[in-house]
Chain A
Amino acid sequence: MSQGRPTQRTMIAAASVPRLPSHVKLRHDAARERWVILAPERLLTPDAIALEVLKLCDGERSVDGIADLLADRYAAGKDQILGDVMSMLQDLADKGVITA
C-alpha cells in the first residue's frame, strides 16, 4: 500500500512493516515541550513508549525487528514486547495513524 487509502482494515502482524502515512506528522511541539501526532482533525499525544515505537516505524523495520530492538534496549522478554507493540500499532492503524 503506497499513498492510497486502505480498502480494507490493516492488520498488524509480526512481519508487517509499519510507517506513518505521508499526511500524518510526528513532530515536536516546542510550546508544550512534548511530541504530537498531527492528522486530519486529530491531535494525539503519544506517551514515552508509544513515541519510541513510532520513531522506529521507518517503513523499513518490521514489527518483529522493532520488538527485537526494544527487547535488547531494555533487556526485557521479547514475546511480551512483541505483543504490546502489535496491539499498540493495531490501535494506531485503526485510527489511520499507521499504515503497513
Chain B
Amino acid sequence: MSAELGDSSEAVTALTAPIGLLAELTHRCPLQCPYCSNPLALERVDGELGSDIWQDVLAQAAELGVLQLHLSGGEPTLRRDLEDIVGRAASLGLYSNLITAGVLLTRDRLAVLAERGLDHVQISIQDSDAANADRIAHYAGGHAKKLEVARWTRALKLPLTINAPIHRQNIDSLPAIIELALELGAHRLEVAHVQYYGWALENRQALMPTRAQVLNSAELVDQARARLKGVLVIDFVVPDYYARRPKPCMGGWGRGIMTITPSGNVLPCHAAQSIGGLAFDNVRQRRLKDIWFHSAAFQAFRGTHWMREPCRSCDLRELDWGGCRCQALAFTGSAANADPACDKSPAHAAFTAIAEAEAGRPAPPFHFRRPRAGRHAG
C-alpha cells in the first residue's frame, strides 16, 4: 500500500501527533503476492496481539491525535475480532479503512462490519485479467471473488477504493484496470507502482518495468484523471528507480504515520525492521504516546539531525526528508545516506542502471511470499 495522505496539509515543522495508524492485525494471508509489503520475516500467529490490547491501543491512538486507522495485514479479515476492532474505532471517531484482499469475506460479514461503523473498504487487485491476476497472487479463483466482494461493498453503500499494484507483468492492463475500477463503482483507484523493498526487492527483476512503460503509465493516468474528473479519484504512486527526486517516504520518518505490527512493535514505517540496529518498542511494554515522542527508533531518523551530505545542506531536506531510509540502507549500506532515488546521491546512477538492466532482461519466476521462505542465497 502507499502511505500517502494526499492533500494533507501537514507541512508542520514542530513535532506533532501522528495522523495515521497502520494496524497490521496479522501477517497471515491466503495470497502470496511477490511484492507483499510485509517483512521477509513474517510474524507468527501465536505472537499476535489480542483483541483487548488492540482496543486499548486504539484508544491510546485516538487520544494521541490519530484520525485515520488503516486496518491491514496480511489479511485483516483473518482476525475473528475484526468486528470489535472496527466497532471500537468507530466509537473513538477514528476514520477506519479496511485494506483487504477480499477473498475470505462473506456478504454477511461485510454487512456486519458496515453496521459496526466501518468507513471505507480498499480491495487490491492483481490485474484486470483473471488468469494473470490469480497467477500473480498464486491463488486460484481469487480475482473473481474480489470482484464479487467489491460489488457487495458498493451494494452495502460502503465507499470503495481499488488498489492495483503495478509492475512489468500487468502494466499493459492499466487501461483495462481503470475501466474495471469504474465498472465496479469505485470512488478511488490507486495505481501504485510496486515499491522495491522486502519481497518486491527479492522479485525486482521479475517486476521492474522499463522507463518507457512507466512514462506511458503516467500519461494514461493523466488522461484518465482529466476524463474522469469528479467521478473517480486516481492516486498514482510512481516507482522511484526512474525518478530524479526521492519521495517523502511516510511523509518523513516519525512525522505523520506509524505502523503497529501484529505482535505490537511500533514502527515509523512498515519496512523499518529491515534496518538493523534499531530497537523497536512494543505496545505491551510502553504507552503509544511515549513511543511516538521518545522512542529511540522514532528519534533515529526524525527531522534532519541525522542527515549527511548531500541531504544536510539540501534545500529540499524538509520537503522529502531525505527519501526512504530502508532504500538508502539496502542500496548504499547505510540508512543515514541519501535515498539513491535522488540524483544528488552518488549511488543514483548505479541505482537507475540496475532498473534499466533488469527491465531489459527476461523476467525470472516469482519468489512467492510464503512464511519462513527466507532470503535467496547471495
Residues in A lying within 8 Å of B, measured CB to CB:
3-10, 21-23, 25, 27, 29-32, 36, 38, 40-45, 93-96
Contact = CB atoms under 8 A, between A and B. Distances in A.
17 contacts: A5-B154, A5-B186, A5-B232, A8-B230, A8-B231, A21-B159, A23-B158, A23-B159, A27-B67, A38-B67, A40-B119, A40-B161, A40-B188, A41-B6, A41-B97, A41-B190, A42-B7
Interface centre among A8, A10, A23, A30 (most CB of B within 10 A): A23
Contact of B230 (A3, A6, A44): A6
Interface in B13-45: 16-17, 19
Interface of B: 2, 4-10, 16-17, 19, 64-65, 67-68, 93, 95, 97, 119-120, 122, 154, 157-159, 161, 185-188, 190, 229-233, 235
Contact of B231 (A9, A23, A36): A9
Nearest to B161: A40
Interface hub of A6, A41, A43, A95 (most chain B Cβ within 10 A): A41
Contacts of A43: 5-10, 19, 67-68
A6 to B, nearest CB: 6
Q: Is the interface of A mostly helix, strand, loop or mixed?
A: loop
A6 B68 contact: no
A21 B188 CA distance: 14
Contacts of A9: 229-231
A44 B5 CA distance: 9
Given A27-B93, A38-B68, A95 B233 contact: yes
Contacts of B232: 5
**B4, B93, B122, B187 pick with most chain A CB within 10 angstroms:** B187
Nearest to A45: B9
B1 to A, nearest CB: 9
B159 A40 contact: yes
Given A38-B95, A41-B97, A45-B9, A31 B64 contact: yes
B222 to A, nearest CB: 15
A42 B16 contact: no
A95 B5 CA distance: 14
A40 B65 contact: no
Nearest to A11: B230
B157 A93 contact: no
B268 to A, nearest CB: 19
Nearest to A94: B230
B274 to A, nearest CB: 24
B185 A5 contact: yes
Contact of B119 (A5, A10, A25): A25
Contacts of B188: 40-41, 96
Given A23-B120, A23-B159, A44 B17 contact: no
A41 B185 contact: no
A32 B235 contact: no
Nearest to A90: B230
Given A23-B119, A23-B158, A95 B65 contact: no
A13 B85 CA distance: 41
A94 B6 contact: no
Nearest to A99: B230
Given A9-B231, A94-B230, A40 B16 contact: no
Contacts of B68: 38, 41, 43
